[in-house]
Structure formats: structure tokens, C-alpha cells
Amino acid sequence: MTIQWFPGHMAKARRQVTEKLKLIDIVYELVDARIPVSSRNPMIDEIISNKPRIILLNKADMADAKVTREWLDYFNLPGSSTKAIAIDSQTGKGIQQIATLSKELLKEKFDKMQSRGIRPRAIRALIVGIPNVGKSTLINRLAKKNIAQTGDRPGVTKAQQWVKVGKELELLDTPGILWPKFEDQEVGYRLATTGAIKDTIINLQDIAVFALRFLTDAYPERLKDRYGLEEIPEDIVELFDAIGSKRGCKMSGGHIDYDKTAELVIREIRSEKLGKISLERPEKL
């Protein structure tokens, strides 16, 4: 589901997250491991401000493991109250680290509470992230049952409920939904390449041009292997022609069908036919 964000929606989403922050000890910021910056909300630091936070690089199963390690080093700065871990919410890989790390980050606060005679309680957490990043999948995985409605919308209010994750952790059952940074065209293309935003919002051929240029630069061998290319043509139209003709994307009369070629390339990237790909690296920031 893609939400069309307007200034009113953004303000409302921000208000809703800010309200929820009052109830919790720690924030789990879910990002897509393939695009950890483009899948972040541009105002996240300001919105979360002084809460401890764990950045969860979700969908790590689809990302380039080497690049994910670079991102973990980038985010896990020593001494910072923000930490990052890589997870796969669909299978649950890595998610057991969430509770352990939360306890570490909150130890001081909870020890203080205890020394003041406050009865020990579970850590309370909120999951936030842009649409499609996997928030509902993670809540369900942590809760080991079906709780979060995939595709719930900002603006739909209902009573807040806590979801128990073992004895020591509780999650708010509705995640905080935030908007991505659309002003930047590259960010839009990266989000579109991973399927985080609807294909109708950005022209499919434009997404494929972006993706093919990226692959030419970052993963040339995989591009050559997948489409049986000896060399990658520099000219993007020639590259479309080469892929389209190899894969039979033609119109009547034999001309290359660029829409079909674009659709094929995007579909194959998303279904990992070109392997595990990360579209952003920390060194390029």
C-alpha cells in the first residue's frame, strides 16, 4: 500500500508518533537494508529526539551482506545511544537481538527506577518507519501471532494496545508510519526500484534507466551474466535494446518494447534474479 503524503498528512503522522513516544522507552526505527538512508524519514532525528533508538536494517535477506556490514559499522558509533542491527522479519532472523540490545541500552534507566523503588516492568517500545518497510511483519513476528494489520493507515485511530514479546518487552500494536524523503529524485528512484513506492507514481522506464545505470556502475558482472551481455553498452537505449532483444521484449514489427523491457528488469531486480543488491553504500554519502 502506498500512502499519498500531503503536508496535512505529514503533520498528522508526526503528531501521532509524538503522542506515542510519550508512552515508550525505546524506538525501533525500521529501514530497508538495501536503502538504509532513502528509506528513512528525513525528520526522524528531530521527531525521535532524545529517546534511545535501535535502527533495524530490515529485509537484510535481500541486501548485499558486505554492504550491510558497512552500514552496521556506519550506524554503530561507539558511545552513541543509537545502535543498529540487521534483521529479516519474514523469517525472524536476527530479531532475538532486539530485546537483548534494548535491555543494554536501557539498563541505566531501569536500574535508576529500581533504586527509587519503582517496581520492575517490561521495556516499552514503538516501531516506526515508512510504508512497506516491514513494520507489520516485524510486529507479527515478534508477537508470534497476527496482530498488526498490514496496510493500516495514519489517521485511523483505535485504542492503543500492548503486544507482549516475552516477559521483558512490550510493543505498541500499531506502528508509527512516517513519510520518506520525496524531494530528492534519486531517493524516489531507489524507493521505486525496491518496490517501496507504487510503480504508477514514477514512470517505469525512468525507474529502469536509473536501476540499469546503477547496476552498470555497482554490479556490472551480474548485469552481464543475467542478460548474456559481453560488454555493457554505454548508451542506455542500446542497453535496453540488448536486454529487450535477448529476452524477446518486442512489439509487432520487431521493434524493442521498452515498457516490457523496463518491467522485466525491475521485476527481476525485486525478485533477486540479479542477486542480493544494495542500492546505497555509506562511502557514497
Residue numbers in the known binding site for GTP are 58-61, 132-137, 176
Does 62 bind ligand G4P (CB under 6 A)? Our answer is: yes
On whether the CB atoms of residues 55 and 80 are closer than 8 A, the answer is: no
Does 194 bind ligand G4P (CB under 6 A)? Our answer is: no
Contacts by 224-230, CB closer than 8 A, 24 or more apart: 226/268, 226/273, 226/274
Is the CB of 5 or the CB of 110 nearer to ligand G4P? 5
Round to whole Å and give the CA distance between 258 and 19. Answer: 47
Round to whole Å and give the CA distance between 182 and 42. Answer: 9
Q: At what angle do helices 220-227 and 236-246 cross, to 10 degrees?
A: 40
Residues annotated as binding site?
Answer: 58-61, 132-137, 176
Judged by CB under 6 A, the stretch of 68-76, 77-85, 87-95, 209-217 that binds ligand G4P is: 87-95
Does 180 bind ligand G4P (CB under 6 A)? Our answer is: no
Is the CB of 137 or the CB of 193 nearer to ligand G4P? 137
Site for ligand G4P in 12-41 (CB under 6 A): none
Q: Which of 132, 174, 194, 278: binder of ligand G4P (CB under 6 A)?
A: 132
Residue with cell 542491527: 85
Judged by CB under 6 A, the stretch of 99-107, 135-143, 204-212, 246-254 that binds ligand G4P is: 135-143
Is the CB of 180 or the CB of 244 nearer to ligand G4P? 180
Contacts of residue 184, defined as CB under 8 A and 6 or more positions apart, other chains included, come to 38
Judged by CB under 6 A, the stretch of 19-27, 41-49, 58-66, 260-268 that binds ligand G4P is: 58-66
In 112-153, DSSP assigns E strands to 123-129
Task: Please count the CA atoms within 13 angstroms of the CA of 83 that sit on its side-chain side.
Answer: 16
Q: Which of 88, 170, 173, 280: binder of ligand G4P (CB under 6 A)?
A: 88
On whether the CB atoms of residues 168 and 67 are closer than 8 A, the answer is: no
Q: Which of 38, 39, 41, 89: binder of ligand G4P (CB under 6 A)?
A: 89
Residue with cell 525512468: 206
Round to whole Å and give the CA distance between 248 and 257. Answer: 9
Does 59 bind ligand G4P (CB under 6 A)? Our answer is: yes
Does 173 bind ligand G4P (CB under 6 A)? Our answer is: no
Which residue number is nearest to ligand G4P in terms of Cβ? 134
Secondary structure of the chain: what % helix, strand, coil (to 5)? 45, 15, 45
Name the CA dihedral angle for 197, 278, 177, 19, rounded to a multiple of 10 degrees. -160
Is the CB of 148 or the CB of 249 nearer to ligand G4P? 148
Per-residue contact flags (x/-) with ligand G4P for residues 90 to 129, judged by CB under 6 A: x--------------------------------------x
Judged by CB under 6 A, the stretch of 14-22, 69-77, 133-141, 215-223 that binds ligand G4P is: 133-141
Task: Please count the CA atoms within 13 angstroms of the CA of 249 that sit on its side-chain side.
Answer: 19
Q: What is the DSSP letter of 92?
A: T
Shortest separation between residue 95's beta carbon and ligand G4P, angstroms: 9
**Contact residues: ligand G4P, CB under 6 A:** 58-59, 61-62, 88-90, 129, 131-137, 150, 195
